[in-house]
Every structure is written in C-alpha cells, then in structure tokens.
Amino acid sequence: MAGSCLETLPARQVLWVGSASPHGVPQLSLAEGQQVLGRELELLVLDAHEGFDPDLFGAASGALVGGGLLLLLSPPLERWSDFPDPQNARITVAPHAPASLSGRFLARLACLLPAAAGVTVVRQGEAIPATPPRVMERPREPVSEDGRFRSEDQRLAVAAILKTLSGHRRRPLVLTADRGRGKSAAFGLAAAELLLAGKSRILVTAPRRAAVATLFAQARAHLPGATQSAGRLEWEGGVLEFLPPDALLCAGPPADLLLVDEAAGIPLALLERMLQRYARIAFASTVHGYEGTGRGFVLKFHALLDRETPGWQLQELKTPIRWAMGDPLEATVNRLLLLDAEIASAAAVAAIDVGQCRCERLDRDTLAADESTLRQLFGLLVFSHYRTRPFDLRHLLDGPNLEVHVLRQGSVILATALLAREGGIDPAPAPAIFKGERRLQGHLLPQSLVANLGLEEALSQRFGRVMRIAVHPLRQGQGLGSRLLVHLEARARQAGLDWLGSSFGLAPELLDFWQGNGYQPVRIGMRREASSGAHSALLLRPLSEAAAASMALARQRFQEQLAWQLADSHRHLDSALVRRLWCQADSSLRLSAAEWREAQAFAHGHRGYEDSALAIGRLLRMRLGEAGWSSSMEESRLEVLVRRVLQHQTWAEIAHALSLPGRAATQAALREAVAVLL
C-alpha cells in the first residue's frame, strides 16, 4: 500500500519518519522528526516500530494537507501495548528496565484508533481494502491574487500586525487559534512587509528557535535576495532576528516591532516584562495543541493584558490553512493526544462543596480506561503549567515511579498532584555522581543532594518528588493545594518515605506556597533557564529522623553557599526572592560597640558605605529571619538594602533598576533602610 502511494507523488510531498524508507523516498530519523514542521505533505509515513513519540505525532500530523494520507505503521493493535517501544527509555527510572513499563498509553491508542473517523486499519497478511475515498475536501485556494494569504483570517491577521506598528503605542496584538491556522506564517508575512517598507529591526522570540522556522521561511520567501544565518535574516539593511526570551530581556535591544510566537510556552512573568519594555509588540498563542497551554494561558494572559495594556487587541484565526474545517485527522489527533482536553466546567465547580471533597490516589489502569476522568485530569495539568505537552500524557500513564493523586467530589476534579518516587537505591554511585562522572536517569532530588551538597547518604534515602500540582482556577486561593500536600505527606509517612520535595522555576508566589507548607530551599540553580528566565529551585521537607539530620546540614550549606552566590552568579536575582530565600538569622553574630557606631554613622550621613559595609552586612544578617524585621520598611528601601548589601550591585545598577535619579538618591535610600535595621 505504501509503495503504490509513494510512486504517484512528487518527492517533496512525501516523507518517511522512522526506520529505513523505500529507495529514493525522503526520510527523517525519529530524532530528526521535528524537521517536518513547516512542510506541506500529501503522504506522511510514521513508523511506530521505532517508537511512538506523542510530541512528534502531534507536530508531524499538522504537515499533511487536506486530502493527504497519514500512514502509521504499528505492531498489531491487540499486541501493541506489549511491544518493547524504544520511547520507554525516556521515562524509565532506575532500577526499572524499559521492558518492564506498562503499556497503558499504547493500549489506549490501539483502542481509540479503529473507531476514529477517517481511519482504516490494514492488518499484516490480510487483503488490502480499496483505498477509501478522500472524505474531506482540500483547503481553498489563496484568497489574494499574489498568493500570499491562504485564508481571509490570515490576511486580517497580517493587517492587524501592521496596524500594531502604525497605530497607538502600547496596544499589543494577540493572535489566537488552534494549530494549523497560519499564525506563524502571518508573522513571517508581516515581517517581510515591514522590512520591504524600510523598517530596520524586527525581533522575534519563542520558547525555542525551531518554533519560528515557519516564520523565517515565510519572510525569506517574500524578500528576494535575503541572506539567512542561524536565527537571523538580513535584507537591504533590515534585520529579522530571533532571541530566546532570557537573552531578549537581558540585552533589551531596540526594535521597531517585537513578535512573540508560541507565547503560551513562555512564563507570564517574562511576558509581563516584555510588555513593559517594548511599546510595539504582537503575540501569537495556540488555543489547543502541543505548542502551548491553551485556554489556561489565554485566561491568565488576558488578565495580565487588561492590567498592563488595557487597549490591547485580539485577533482570532479559525480557518485551517492546509486542510478544510472539520478535518477528521485533526479531530483524531486531538482526541488521541488530548490536545483539546478541558477542565471541569464553571457550573460543575460552582456546585461543589469543598468541605465534602476527598483526596485519593487514582489507579492508573482505571484512569487509562476512563476517558472522561483522563480528559479532565490532563486538562487541568495543561491549564496550569506552560510546559505540559503530549509526551506528558504518556509519562502520566506509564511512568514506572509515578503516582496520580486528586482532590475531587464525585466526577469533578478540583486539584491534582503527580508524585514521583525517587531514591532508595544502591549508594555506590554516589562518589561518581558527586564528581560529575555519572548521572542516573530520574532521581532528581537525591542526586541533587549528592552532586551539589555532598550528601552521599541521600541516594539510599526514599523521596517523594511532587512533579506537578494544579488547582482548578475557580478554586484557587482556598487551600486546596495545601490539602493535597497534607494528603501526600500522610501517605508518604505510611510508606516509610524519608522526604517530600519539589523542584520548579523560582517565582515569589510559588516560593510562598511551598515555604508556607513547611518546605525549605536547599538548592538554587546557577543559570536561568532560557525559556522561562527563572532559576530552578529545590525545596525539601524531611519526614524521618535521618532526613532531619541531613536537612540541617543541607540548610547550613545552602545558606553558606547563597552568601557567595548572591555576590556572583545570583547578583541579579529578584530581590523579593532573595528575602524569601535568606530567611534565617545568624544567631552567632554579635556586633561590637565599634560596629554599632559605624552602622549608626552611615545611617545618619556621617560615614560612607564602603567604610561601614562590614558592620552593615553583619547587622543585616542578624536581622534576617527575625519576625517582622522588614515590616516598617518601604519596599524600595528593602530592595536597595538587599541589592547593595547582599548582592553587591553597584550604585549605578541599583539606580537603573529602581528608576532612582542617581547615586546620591540611592545612597539616601540605603541610609534610611539601615536606620530601620538599627
């Protein structure tokens, strides 16, 4: 069947992903599969014998044009769940072997596929049925004479982007659509038109550079003679340039227009900073699909826009570009990967009495067979976390060390937590892990304690890592997340675990939540993550006596390391985070009479900071962790204090960050802060 299809189509319209393809047929390995993005194919062959990657399946299916054919080569459906899929290695955790993993995800696929619209099952050794007629029409022809616009939605989107640059400042544009509606292409078309009009610099950002391949391809196609290098396109003095979110905000280069693609994959805190820095900006986000977090992002981002830029504009693209409305493949992919999963409705949530809800651990065999609960659960995870993607569904069902916990009443899920069991393994590799010579797959928490704090005993201790915790948006702020953590702790103590912990991108509200539930930081990552712009944090709560002893040592080392890191790698960490992280006083510190005089002399303007710095630093360390030590101090004074005394930022850096007139005003603010400390 595949051979006959391949012979009738031009090579550029055919792609084989997976094992060796027939002679002369363009092929990509599974690892190269993401390169299919931006192509338009009549036939796509995915060989699942090489492994079924849900992310690749979702992305690649969008390359097929209407009336095209997706040929999925799989083991026999009735035995697919027992197939030793190579993708199992990605979620295997020592001491489990890939072959020991459950096949729940593949069993669900095998169950849903035969009943899906437009799907024909052809079994090995059976007669090949006649190729079914193409049940869906091809997409309509371009709507413009020059062929640029593939839909009226796309033409209107480009016009809206151009208006963002020519209209009032600080009225950003937001393009929203399901995948395959031409948002990225619209960005590329608009960028080309702006460069043709003489604009000098268009900046582009996205969670990863591969996400803007279509944007750059469209721009280059409409700029004759343009030259392109990695992440940069030049045309007659104008530049279209990609920068990752963290680099964009760190460098802050000027631009005529900033285009933010796959905005749903970027944390809101970074998007807020972009809004504050750039007056001309357009965002594109996917409502459903692997690119982002869908409706959860839309609701939260729209609230941010209402607050920061109330004149913002919304443009929706509804018409598919490469296929017709109601395409059966799109519906099938959405169902298989839960790309259209939704949280419980507002009406259902409003009827819930929170006091009657109960926490429980879900049986994953039951969950895999309960499509309604699975959709609601995964919808909540997608809604709440900007990095959730289709492969997470496979991990949810098959991860060998994973537990799924929920807080619900009846069939309505209000909150969920995913817990990964870690540690409890042979400590022999600990020295090699400490020296950076070895890493075990999984076991994030114990390996971090070994590698970064030298606690080699951690490998044999038993951990529960809270991978995700999510609460329905209509019930947030009511203590449901904390109730789930209490439930997890009770079960962890019953199971004999030594620790509970979590690792996440640092944000003040997240730190408050975890510290408020008794978890304390023991590690802050050295570098900001490119996509989130945040340092990772590791917080722990000891449950056993052995863990408590290790925790005391871990906290001591953390505070000692943090003192040096704040003057080096963490010099520009958010001062609000610094205050939360450095939350314990040094009870051994005592200021001498001379040091008290030095600090007082600085506070009253009789002495320079450099001559009193040691005394002021010791004074601040005495106060840190004392209840209410900062309650009488203005926020701006607190920031100056933390930035200068703990992070050793220069006067110029502080003045710029806090919009102070200069050095004299910055010093005056610090003197007032020290006076409060005294």
Residue with tokens 């060796």: 20
From CA 342, how far away is CA 670, in angstroms rounded? 50
**pLDDT for residue 12:** 55
Provide the strand spans (E) within 198-280.
201-205, 227-229, 232-235, 238-242, 257-260
* SS3 per-residue string spanning 185-196: HHHHHHHHHHHH
Q: Buried b vs exposed e over 88-116: b needs ≥16 C-beta within 10 Å?
A: beebbbeebeeeebbbbbbbbbbeebeee
What residues contact residue 545 under an 8 Å CB cut-off, 6+ apart? none
Is the model's pLDDT at 146 over the cut of 70? no
Where is average pLDDT lowest: 48-57, 285-294, 475-484, 502-511?
Answer: 285-294
From CA 445, how far away is CA 614, in angstroms rounded? 36
- Cα distance between the two ends of the chain: 83
Instruction: Specify the 3-state DSSP secondary structure of 524.
Output: strand
Provide the strand spans (E) within 432-535.
462-471, 499-505, 520-524
Is the model's pLDDT at 176 over the cut of 70? yes
**pLDDT for residue 1:** 39
Mode of pairing for the β-strands spanning 520-524 and 281-286: unpaired
**pLDDT for residue 357:** 94
| Confidence category of residue 153, pLDDT binned at 50, 70, 90 | very high
From CA 325, how far away is CA 315, in angstroms rounded? 19
Is the model's pLDDT at 138 over the cut of 60? no
For the segment 345-360, the average pLDDT, to the nearest whole number, is: 93
**pLDDT for residue 135:** 46
Q: What is the pLDDT of residues 409-458, one digit of tens each?
A: 999 999 999 999 999 999 899 999 998 999 999 899 999 999 999 999 99
For the segment 148-177, the average pLDDT, to the nearest whole number, is: 92
| Confidence category of residue 160, pLDDT binned at 50, 70, 90 | very high
From CA 30, how far away is CA 44, in angstroms rounded? 13
From CA 29, how far away is CA 172, in angstroms rounded? 40
For the segment 603-622, the average pLDDT, to the nearest whole number, is: 90
For the segment 371-378, the average pLDDT, to the nearest whole number, is: 96
**pLDDT for residue 246:** 85
pTM of the shown model? 0.86
Q: Buried b vs exposed e over 428-460: b needs ≥16 C-beta within 10 Å?
A: ebbeebbeeeeebebbbbbbbbbbbbebbbbbb
Q: What is the pLDDT of residues 400-422, one digit of tens each?
A: 999 999 999 999 999 999 999 99
Q: What is the pLDDT of residues 180-238, one digit of tens each?
A: 888 999 999 999 999 999 999 999 999 888 889 889 999 999 999 999 988 999 999 99
From CA 302, how far away is CA 310, in angstroms rounded? 10
Is the model's pLDDT at 503 over the cut of 60? yes
**pLDDT for residue 586:** 60
Q: Give ∠ CA 556-557-563 in degrees, rounded to 5.
A: 95
Is the model's pLDDT at 8 over the cut of 70? no
Q: Which of residues 68 and 366 earns the better pLDDT score?
A: 366
Is the model's pLDDT at 467 over the cut of 90? yes
Q: What are phi and psi of 85, to 5 degrees?
A: -65, 125
For the segment 552-569, the average pLDDT, to the nearest whole number, is: 89
Is the model's pLDDT at 463 over the cut of 90? yes
Is the model's pLDDT at 83 over the cut of 90? yes
Instruction: Specify the 3-state DSSP secondary structure of 90.
Output: helix
**pLDDT for residue 587:** 58
Mean pLDDT (the chain, rounded): 88
Q: What is the DSSP letter of 351?
A: T
Q: What is the pLDDT of residues 622-638, one digit of tens each?
A: 887 676 666 777 888 88
**pLDDT for residue 289:** 55
How much of the chain exceeds pLDDT 70, in percent? 90
**pLDDT for residue 66:** 83
| Confidence category of residue 386, pLDDT binned at 50, 70, 90 | low
Is the model's pLDDT at 65 over the cut of 60? yes
Where is average pLDDT lowest: 1-10, 50-59, 85-94, 453-462?
Answer: 1-10
Q: What is the pLDDT of residues 294-318, one digit of tens each?
A: 556 777 888 899 999 999 999 999 9
From CA 283, how far away is CA 262, in angstroms rounded? 8
Task: Sketch out the chain's domains with CATH numbers.
Answer: 2-115 (3.40.50.11040), 152-317 (3.40.50.300), 593-677 (no CATH)
For the segment 7-14, the average pLDDT, to the nearest whole number, is: 58
**pLDDT for residue 131:** 59
CB 117 within 8 A of CB 329: no
What residues contact residue 651 under an 8 Å CB cut-off, 6+ apart? 644, 662, 663, 666, 667
